[in-house]
């Protein structure tokens, strides 16, 4: 799939909307559209309140982002061996054995590359490039070289971006 997914994938947007608007689907069209507008605006307001509350508490990232990073760190970063080629590049070997072909077991090696100028990175597993969130291999390498993983998370995934997207005064106005 092209482009970044930021850790979220849906199989079909229509299925998602159908499940969200079960009651509204049975209403007359004008009433349905009005009910959907109110639901969307209520949801936007709730999310704005959550973002403001978390920012006031000093958090920089939504809990869902912290959960993703914790999962990567727990499952992958802690069980890797790192060989540093430079401060920008290194080889990360997974501690666990993986079956490659018909009973042949070996440890997978991943190459991690960090771009300190643009605060981006890549890993041969592909997860870091796909969603912009450092994978476990990248976290292991960052820990090894003393880089700060949160600095590599795209600004679009920060709470301030979430707050700004729900704080758009013109988004809720109708012509």
The predicted pLDDT at position 67 comes to 84
Distances (CA, A) of 35 to 18, 22, 42, 62: 14, 12, 11, 28
pLDDT given at position 100: 59
Separation CA 69–CA 67 (nearest Å):
5
Predicted local distance difference test score (pLDDT) of residue 76: 62
pLDDT reported for residue 57: 95
| DSSP structural state of residue 88 | S
How confident is the model at residue 53, as a pLDDT? 94
Q: Where are the domains of the chain?
A: 13-58, 63-157
For residue 144, what are its two tokens?
Answer: 């090894």
pLDDT in tens, the chain (175 residues): 455 555 555 566 777 777 888 888 888 999 989 998 998 899 889 989 999 999 999 999 888 888 877 777 666 656 778 888 888 888 888 766 656 566 666 677 888 888 888 888 888 888 888 888 888 888 888 888 888 888 888 888 889 988 888 876 655 444 4
Terminal CA-to-CA distance of the chain, rounded, Å? 36
The Cα–Cα gap between 140 and 41 comes to 41
Give the chain's radius of gyration (CA, Å).
21
- Enter the pTM of the model: 0.65
Per-residue pLDDT at 174? 46
What is the distance, to the nearest Å, from the Cα of residue 5 to the centroid of all Cα atoms in its chain? Answer: 7
State the Cα–Cα distance between residues 160 and 1, nearest whole angstrom: 28
* Spatial contact of 136 and 73, defined as CB atoms under 8 Å apart: yes
């Amino acid at each position: 799939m092209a482009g970044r997914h930021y850790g979220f994938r849906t199989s079909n947007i229509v299925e998602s909307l159908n499940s969200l608007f079960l009651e509204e689907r049975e209403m007359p069209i004008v009433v349905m559209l009005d009910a959907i507008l109110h639901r969307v605006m209520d949801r936007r307001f709730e999310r704005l309140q959550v973002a403001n509350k978390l920012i006031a508490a000093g958090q920089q990232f939504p809990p869902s982002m912290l959960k993703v990073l914790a999962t990567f760190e727990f499952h992958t970063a802690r069980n890797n061996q790192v060989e540093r080629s430079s401060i920008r590049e290194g080889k990360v070997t997974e501690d666990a054995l993986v079956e490659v072909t018909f009973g042949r077991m070996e440890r997978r090696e991943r190459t991690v590359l960090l771009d300190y100028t643009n605060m981006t990175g890549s890993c041969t597993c592909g997860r870091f490039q796909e969603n912009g969130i450092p994978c476990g291999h990248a976290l292991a390498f960052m820990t090894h070289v003393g880089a700060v993983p949160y600095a590599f998370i795209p600004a679009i995934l920060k709470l301030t971006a979430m707050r700004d997207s729900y704080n758009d005064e013109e988004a809720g106005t109708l012509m």
